[in-house]
A and B are shown apart, each in its own frame.
Chain A
Amino acid sequence: MTIHTDLGRSAAAAALLHPRTGGSDGAETTAAGPDPVGSDRPDHRDGSSASTSRLGGIRSLGVGVVTLWLSVIVLLPLAALTVAAFGDGWAGFWEAVTAPAALAALWVTVVVSAGVALLNAVMGTVIAWVLVRDSFPGQRFVNAIIDLPFALPTIVASIVLLSLYGPNSPIGVHLNATRWGLIVALAFVTLPFVVRSVQPVLIEADREVEEAAASLGASNLTTFRRIILPTLAPAILSGTGLAFARAIGEYGSVVLIGGNIPRETQVASQYIQQQIEIDSPQAAAAVSVALLAIAFATLLLLRVVASRSQRREERAP
């Protein structure tokens, strides 16, 4: 039974990890095939070279429009941000990023996000396991619930968690303005990453190997450690990395429950927001660039690891 619906896998997860799936990888194969219309070979329709060059003209105009569009929306803002971060030179950038409060916020962000990522690695794998290998009434419903954090606006996540763990908690658990509050909020919004990346691998996994190991006398723990974990490891790693990358930038889900206490629960995005509020744009830009750098480094590392394990898989008999 396939319970994996792939729903709401939120393009994000897939695209972040394999930025080229369905993109250029596939495109390369197309390029190897027959030439796309409009290259320099004579045009099918009337064979006149005038038409070909007209098409080429339209195409260059199109490429220009796409480039301009992506530049104005995505590249120029990020360029302006970077320039502002280094407005007072490298020293200014360094000073802003190493200001005690900034450093503390970045540290809280990275530590809490790493903790949440690890929590996801364990719990995500357990949940994926239960969804694939176990069967119980209501399993499909539980499977659908997993995507809820992707569909819910982040500020709603904040309010939802506050209703149970906030000042009016009906069970007397008060997590607001504590690091536990941050962890719960971030665990909520990053829940789907590991589950959704491990689930398909577990469905595809060859159970005969596991049975062989068991019949050769391996204990469950040994089978898990030596057979299953190595198979799942790349998926767990990528899910964990994506969860980390998402967690360090989170704002909406922590803004209400986190408490924004400097050096305690203030995360980098809240610090950045505060710097804008007190009219210190250079500091805001500098910490933004630092946060971006951490996110890019994480994603780059993930891609390197992913392509390496893929190559190893290809080499394996």
Chain B
Amino acid sequence: MNTSATTRIGLRTIALGYLLVLIGLPIGVILYRTFEPGLATFYASISTPAAISALNLSLLIVGIVVPINVVFGVFTAIALVRWRFPGRGVLQAVVDLPFAVSPVVVGVALIMLWGAGGWFGAIEGTGFRVIFGLPGMVIATIFVTLPFVVREVEPVLHEIGEDQEQAASTLGASRWQTFWRITLPAIRWGLTYGVVLTVARALGEFGAVIMVSSGFPGVSQTLTLLVHARYIDDHNTYGAYAAATLLMGIALLVLLLMTVLDRKRSDR
């Protein structure tokens, strides 16, 4: 289709105008409002005790969730790709389920399972508080990030096939050696990509976490909950902007990492 210059420029204007109004301008305004009072004010706002403890809590959750997802994610991917067993198709579908569930619904579902009146509610009697405690936030984050590692590692496992692994075991390598020397190096970029997606989502998750957190500043507030609380409860709009800008900076970093990793993956 040989579009005339007018059509082309018209479409370009519509597309770019839409992106400007929806993304460009709002981000410009928030950056301006965050940094207009000066870097010192910004730094002061993101280094209050509540902000630091929110950052620490977010990082703690990431620190717990990532290793769990890596171990279980790789294991699940291997099981789904390499092994035949009845019910494999069902498990495949279950891995995708978290993508279709609203974050708030995740929270409600976890309350129904782990909460005071829930199926596993008795566990609270032992002093292990899941809902309104750290375990709840961790479990909620695991739920929403569960598919990433599995889905990034699976295609790589398919692609590399089993020849090398079989050769290794023919030469007398143990399963463990085969995994560490053959499988893991082969899946490393896919795995890293999955981890980056997991980190981004874990830091940014809001709906599922707010449902299962008690939300006390300095105790059970993650970075995203801090943004919310500052805006809604404290009417501290600047503080909310500053915390949001911090999260945005992290997100940009993640986006950059993903671009680099994507190139690495396709180079392989």
* A-to-B contact residues, CB < 8 Å: 5-8, 10-12, 15-16, 19-24, 26-27, 30-31, 36-39, 44-45, 58-60, 62-63, 65-67, 69-70, 73-78, 80-81, 83-84, 123, 126-127, 129-131, 133-134, 136, 142, 144-149, 151-156, 159-165, 168, 170, 184, 187-188, 191, 207, 210-211, 213-214, 220, 223-224, 227-228, 245, 248-252, 255-256, 268-270, 272-273, 276, 281, 284-285, 288, 291-292, 295-296, 299
Contact = CB atoms under 8 A, between A and B. Distances in A.
A299 to B, nearest CB: 6
A148 B22 contact: no
Interface string B225-262: 00110011000010011001001100110110011001
Contacts of B89: 24
A65 B75 contact: yes
A10 to B, nearest CB: 7
A77 B148 contact: no
Contacts of A295: 100-102
Interface residues of B, number: 111
B105 A74 contact: no
B211 A273 contact: yes
B170 interface: yes
Interface string B65-101: 0000000100110111111110111011111111111
A146 B61 CA distance: 28
A123 B20 CA distance: 13
Interface string B103-118: 1111111111111011
25 contacts: A5-B262, A10-B197, A11-B151, A11-B197, A22-B151, A22-B154, A22-B155, A23-B154, A37-B162, A59-B85, A62-B79, A77-B114, A81-B113, A126-B14, A144-B255, A160-B27, A164-B29, A170-B29, A214-B1, A255-B207, A256-B231, A256-B232, A269-B102, A292-B100, A295-B102
A16 B147 CA distance: 11
B15 interface: yes
A188 B23 contact: yes
Contact of A19 (B33, B93, B200): B93
A136 to B, nearest CB: 6
Q: Which of A45, A144, A164, A250 has the most CB of B within 10 A?
A: A164
Nearest to B85: A63
Given A130-B12, A214-B2, A269 B100 contact: no
